[in-house]
A = this chain, B = another copy of it.
Amino acid sequence: MRGRRIIEAVPTNSPQMGTTGNYRYHIAARDVDFTGCPALAAVTDHVLSAAGDDADRNGFGVTDLNESNLTWVLSRFCMEFVRYPARDETLCVSTWVSEVGRMMTTRNFVITAPGGDAIGAAVSNWAMIDLGTRRAVDITSRPGYAEAVVNEPSPISAPERLGSARPDKTAVRRVMYSDIDFNRHTNTLRYLGMMLDMLPLEYMERGTDIRRMDMNFLHESRYGDTLTVAWQKGDKQLFEIRRGDQTVCRAQIEWKQ
């Protein structure tokens, strides 16, 4: 990611149809892990919250979709940092939809620090599913969605399609009440937690200085499912969560050296 500078992070009208939404989030003490840095799950939560808030603003948030028995499902996600957020910073997360297809839409994010520097960016791909059939529905059939597109490309390369992990270490986790979300499937942040729990604590003591994270969500997992979490060591840490023969999700995280 280039160290793009945003002088003022206020709601802006693009010359195109849609608009970029700007949301402020404070990194509080409760967002910090034992290293003194914001936990990766907390930063991811703030970014995904901006997605939810901006979809609400545009009239196609989860609450609006639920009225039509539809919901959003995150399919792929990636995030990069030029400089990792710090405790007590108030970040501005700017977000816009850059692409919409029948099966998938792309939502982008730029994370700006108080001084105006863009310190991070993220790209997400979402599918719209029917809550009854759990199958994808045509996003373009939803009125108003295409009008939300902003003609501004993604700030970083798209989420990588990750391969299978060769497990150096595995753990078994059962999906419990506190792991599931309003969609009745395991929450994105809990998957991330299950993956980071695989790393020795000494590894985390190096600090949460992350260069890039990629996540792929392939299948849903649900209450009572028994999951196997695998970790493959390397320059980039690769994780895979499986339910029996089925891959539920994969992630790759690259810390700065």
Give A contacts to B, CB under 8 Å. 28-30, 32-34, 36, 41, 45, 48-49, 52-53, 61-63, 87-88, 176-178, 180-184, 190, 193-194, 196-197, 199, 201, 204, 223-224
**In the complex, are the beta carbons of B88 and A182 less than 8 A apart?**
no
Q: Which residue of B lies closest to A65 (CB)?
A: B29
A125 CB → nearest B CB, Å: 19
Docked-complex contact A34 and B184, CB < 8 angstroms: yes
CB distance from A59 to the nearest CB of B (A): 14
Distance to closest chain B CB from A115 (angstroms): 19
Known contacts A29-B63, A34-B184; is A178 also within 8 Å of B197 by CB? yes
- Beta-carbon contact of A29 and B182 below 8 Å: yes
Contacts of A32 in B (CB 8 A): 181-182
Residues of B within 8 A of A30 (CB): 45, 48-49, 52, 181-182
Query: What's the least CB distance linking A201 to chain B, in Å?
Result: 6
Contacts A/B (CB < 8 Å), 13 sampled = A28-B53, A29-B63, A30-B182, A32-B181, A32-B182, A34-B180, A34-B182, A176-B193, A177-B193, A177-B199, A177-B201, A178-B193, A178-B194
Tell me which of B63, B87, B88, B204 contacts A87 (CB under 8 A): B63
Listed residue (A30, A52, A193) with the most chain B CB atoms within 10 angstroms of its CB: A30
